[in-house]
Amino acid sequence: MSEELDYFHEDAKEQLQMMESALLDAMDKGSNTEYIGTIFRAMHTIKGVAGMFSFDAIISFTHIAENLMDSVRNGKIVLGENLLMLLLECKDHVNELVNCAVESTDLPPQTLEKDKLLKSTINAYLNNSQAHLTPKESQNIETPNTNLWHISLALKDSFFDSGMDLISIIAFLKRLGTLHKVHPLLEKLPTLETIDPYKPYLSFEIEFEGDVTKETLVEVFEFVEDDIELEVFSVKEFLNTQEEKSIEEVQQIEVSVAQPVESPKIEPLKQELPDKKVTPVSQFLRVDSSKIDILIDTISEMVIANAKINRYVEENSAVELEEISIELSTLLEGLRNNVMNIRMVPVGESFEKFRRVVNDVAYRLGKKINFVIKGGETELDKTVIEKIADPLLHMLRNSVDHGIELPQKRVEQGKSEYGNVELRAYPESGSIVIEIEDDGKGLGLDAILAKAKAKGIITPTQQLSDAEAYKLIFEPGFSTAEVVSDISGRGVGMDVVRKNIEALKGDVELQSYVGKGSCFTIRLPLTLAIIDGFLFQVGKTNYIIPLDMVSEVIEYTQQYHVSMKDSKVFNLRGTLLPFLDVRSYYQEMSCQVCERQNIIVVKYGRHKMGLLVDELLGEYQTVIKPLGKLFVNAPALYGASILGSGEIALIFDIPALFEMVNIIRE
């Protein structure tokens, strides 16, 4: 894809996203001029840029959608619920057209069919709006195919810097009607010997005929409006003015011969335009994310190389080199954090896209939903955000489909007819927590257990804690829906949701109360590339856990020891916590030189546990590398890091570690 096409694609996606947000806002809060303006601008901008690429299908569709929005803007059509739904369909359709254009593929038959259908529906709206106009309003609508326009166009010195080609703009203009004449004025053009090739010298006089308004013609040149001097006028109006002036002149001459006659004056066009949005100087730079990935990979290698230097300094007591090494470590850490920050993006942008899904599902099911997003500013690694989108989508669909009751049922239960669904995100000690909470009917434990037994997921006599019972809904083939719908409830989703979240080294849990609602809690690591780790040794193997999850470290002495049959727990100031003896679990060799044994207290969400380890090596910048196939069956480990010595350290998967300890205890 060329850079320009790439830009068009990104820009179109942004415009469509803004359009969708405005449509959903209009649904929730009622329409206003701001939302209407946003929807109009989205169609108009996409049409304009598509014109530069000659994407005819997009131009033709967005043109008609723009006309519809123009009528809404002028108050001729009311932006009601049905029209909002139609415009959402239009947004989806334009998205489809854009994708086909960018991929240079022919429009599939169903898209062509949709195109026809939407256009005829829009036309019905437009015709209907005109049928209801008063005769006075009808007069204001310009008569088709009788408008002859004159466009005067002078290029300012900055024109070629705009990056736009006037010929493409004229080509776009031609699509709106008939281009009778383009007359270039060469008076200012120098000879080849003296020309500055980057400076425009030409002006143009254009005669154009088409069923368009003056505003439409001005908007054709919108993308270069700062780089041209433009005058547009209707030839008919101009001639009428001339005629009226002539009559006035005669009358005025009759009244007073001495009074001077004013020549017909064409108002400068820019004064007639509505307030233009002043585009602020952009503080953003659009960068291909793969370039950042390469940068992070390079920094990862630098972190490893730096660890080697540190190791050399330790082994050789090189004082001068040690100072440099410390400075280098500090700089590298700063660089690493800054680069990692580039990858961190607010989750809000991604969450906004779910509003549409919630809205559509609710509409189809006849439910009323008040959907709230909180903590949209919370930042998460871009890769993680992309991968979590599908699981979140599925859970939201589930909440609306199975959680929230129909309005009548809610009212009967003394609830508001509007169901509440809240999607929120917040940081929590090295993790990001995402919660989806609804105030629907909730999940009954009895129903879950009965279903699990019926499906053979658990045995009829199996006893489970509440938390374990709720986890059953993430088992393959489990569905609590009494009626399987096409929206969710096929029983194939929640296990995939859990699998996807676990693949991101996160976990998901459910809390639910019958009649009150449910809350899904997802915990995700901040990033999947480089972390601040805590390095320790057991036997001859090095291990790392994320530093943020280390609550404290204690020497394992008699005071913490608890004797309990078949259970490994320790007493931390009166609280019994489980611990994992890493040496015995991973069958490490015993440590000959260790003077003491330590317990690292690890926290995760509301839970804490201990790891019984040998030597504590301290904080370590950890570049996460995937584990080889040999480690596929190694429990609670998810990656490795290369140390300065060239040795490997294994990185613990904390959610899996907690789960494993619970299983061992049972």
Partner 1 sequence: MIFETDSLKIEQVEEVKSQLLAALENEAPMITLDLLYVNKVDLCIIQLFLALQKSTQKKNIQLTLKNCSESFINTLSLSGCSDLLKCSHE
Sheet with 431-438: strands ordered across: 368-374, 418-428, 431-438, 517-525, 507-513
* CB 559 within 8 Å of CB 574: no
Closest to partner 1 by CB, 13 vs 199, is 199
> Among residues 49, 32, 67, 12, which one has the least CA distance to residue 215?
67
Residues shown for the chain: 666
Amino acid at 205: E
* CB 421 within 8 Å of CB 369: yes
Interface residue list for partner 1 (CB under 8 A): 160, 165-167, 170-171, 174, 179, 181-184, 186, 189-193, 195, 197-198, 200-202, 204, 206
**Calpha distance 569→563 (Å, rounded):** 8
Question: Do β-strands 530-538 and 541-546 pair in parallel, antiparallel, or remain unpaired?
Answer: antiparallel
* CB 188 within 8 Å of CB 156: no
Give the shortest CB-157-to-partner 1 separation in angstroms: 13
Give the shortest CB-230-to-partner 1 separation in angstroms: 16
Determine the Cα angle at 513 with ends 510 and 519, to 5°.
35
> Among residues 83, 84, 73, 8, which one has the least CA distance to residue 46?
8
Closest to partner 1 by CB, 52 vs 342, is 52
Give the shortest CB-77-to-partner 1 separation in angstroms: 35
**Calpha distance 658→388 (Å, rounded):** 22
Give the shortest CB-224-to-partner 1 separation in angstroms: 11
**Calpha distance 160→244 (Å, rounded):** 41
Residue 178 CB neighbours (<10 A) = 11
Q: Exposed/middle/buried for 95, CB within 10 Å: 0-12, 13-18, 19+? A: middle
Give the shortest CB-499-to-partner 1 separation in angstroms: 49
Closest to partner 1 by CB, 111 vs 152, is 152
Give the shortest CB-167-to-partner 1 separation in angstroms: 5
* CB 350 within 8 Å of CB 365: no
Closest to partner 1 by CB, 201 vs 312, is 201
DSSP sequence for 612-630 = EESEEEEEEEEE-B---GG
Give the shortest CB-228-to-partner 1 separation in angstroms: 12
Closest to partner 1 by CB, 167 vs 255, is 167
Closest to partner 1 by CB, 191 vs 633, is 191
**Bridge partners for 521 per DSSP:** 435, 509
Give the shortest CB-179-to-partner 1 separation in angstroms: 8
Give the shortest CB-183-to-partner 1 separation in angstroms: 5
Token pair, residue 616, equals 């504590």
* CB 613 within 8 Å of CB 536: yes
Closest to partner 1 by CB, 192 vs 278, is 192
* DSSP H or E run through 216: helix 214-220
Give the shortest CB-201-to-partner 1 separation in angstroms: 6
Residue 650 CB neighbours (<10 A) = 20
DSSP sequence for 362-384 = HHHHT-EEEEEEE-TT-EEEHHH
Closest to partner 1 by CB, 160 vs 586, is 160
Closest to partner 1 by CB, 108 vs 184, is 184
Closest to partner 1 by CB, 190 vs 646, is 190
**Calpha distance 661→666 (Å, rounded):** 9
Closest to partner 1 by CB, 3 vs 267, is 3
Give the shortest CB-159-to-partner 1 separation in angstroms: 8
Give the shortest CB-232-to-partner 1 separation in angstroms: 17
* CB 624 within 8 Å of CB 641: yes
> Among residues 263, 243, 265, 247, which one has the least CA distance to residue 255?
247
Closest to partner 1 by CB, 116 vs 180, is 180
* DSSP H or E run through 576: strand 575-581
Give the shortest CB-219-to-partner 1 separation in angstroms: 19
Distances (CA, A) of 651 to 310, 489, 498, 623, 656: 21, 36, 21, 10, 12
Give the shortest CB-266-to-partner 1 separation in angstroms: 21
Residue 395 CB neighbours (<10 A) = 26
**Calpha distance 449→195 (Å, rounded):** 84
Token pair, residue 441, equals 């009917």
> Among residues 621, 576, 565, 566, which one has the least CA distance to residue 599?
576
Closest to partner 1 by CB, 155 vs 572, is 155
Closest to partner 1 by CB, 99 vs 162, is 162
Give the shortest CB-221-to-partner 1 separation in angstroms: 14
> Among residues 349, 387, 378, 334, which one has the least CA distance to residue 528?
387
Closest to partner 1 by CB, 200 vs 430, is 200
